[in-house]
Amino acid sequence: MSDLQYIVRQPKKIAKNPPLLVLLHGYGSNEQDLFSFAEELPDELLIVSAQAPYTLGAGSYAWYAINFDDINGKFSDLEQAKESIDKIAIFIDEVKTKYNTNPEKTFLLGFSQGAALSYSLSFFYPNKVQHVIALSAYVNTELLPTAISKEIETDYYCSHGTVDQVIPIEWARKSKPFLDNLGLKNVYSEYPVGHGVAPQNFYSFKTWIEERL
């Protein structure tokens, strides 16, 4: 069992095997955050928003700790991050089974920390998800398997704010060449915002999802 708590938006168009969209919020947020997108997303989707396992207090949660010290500066707890990746992978399988979703149409949308794990999960668990939407994040090369499968067919939508004060735009810009070098389909776009999702960014990834339904 993954033991992750979650909330659900049932498909508005009933189907025997609905496509699945899993939402992973960022550091210090909760499952309600990205769920605000749900009503505006395609009616066909079963949308599930997961709550990260580590509590920061006052309704705030994290997928892994971000620590600060005088020597290393800011650094991620990679052990916690990998544990969360494994939990998310189990969670996706449980949701697929419980709701009888279309196994060929699983979307994983993450913001910030949730998006960093979305990238990583797609490499640790090849083709568990067909489509990754990574908002305001980067590929953490410390969170990758030692060998990346050549069988991955996942495609990626990546976007970032040009004035992001949390994750530098330079980090995000490395995602496209990284994915290109692996021969993986991807699109990368930038918007004149900080660490958030601009309206035009939302409509862009919404269209990207619709094209894959």
According to DSSP, the residues that pair with 73 across neighbouring strands are 69
User: Cα–Cα distance between 150 and 71 in angstroms, integer?
Assistant: 37
Domain 6-211, what fold? Answer: Rossmann fold (3.40.50)
Mean pLDDT, the chain, as a whole number?
A: 95
- Residue 157 in tokens: 């939508």
User: Cα–Cα distance between 162 and 169 in angstroms, integer?
Assistant: 6
User: Cα–Cα distance between 121 and 86 in angstroms, integer?
Assistant: 8
pLDDT in tens, 104-122: 999 999 999 999 999 999 9
pLDDT in tens, 48-105: 999 999 999 899 999 998 876 665 566 678 999 999 999 999 999 999 999 999 999 9
- pLDDT reported for residue 189: 98
- pLDDT reported for residue 72: 58
- pLDDT reported for residue 102: 98
With residue 175 as reference, give the H or E element that holds it.
Answer: helix 175-181
Would you say 133 and 157 are in contact if contact means Cβ atoms under 8 Å apart? yes
- Once rounded to an integer, what is the mean pLDDT over residues 168-182? 97
Closest by alpha carbon to 24, among 141, 108, 128?
108
Would you say 213 and 19 are in contact if contact means Cβ atoms under 8 Å apart? yes
With residue 157 as reference, give the H or E element that holds it.
Answer: strand 155-161
Identify the residue with better confidence: 42 or 2: 42
- pLDDT reported for residue 68: 63
Q: By three-state DSSP, how is residue 47 classified? A: strand
pLDDT in tens, 17-57: 999 999 999 999 999 999 999 999 999 999 999 999 999 98
Closest by alpha carbon to 154, among 124, 117, 186, 202?
186
% of the chain at pLDDT higher than 70: 96
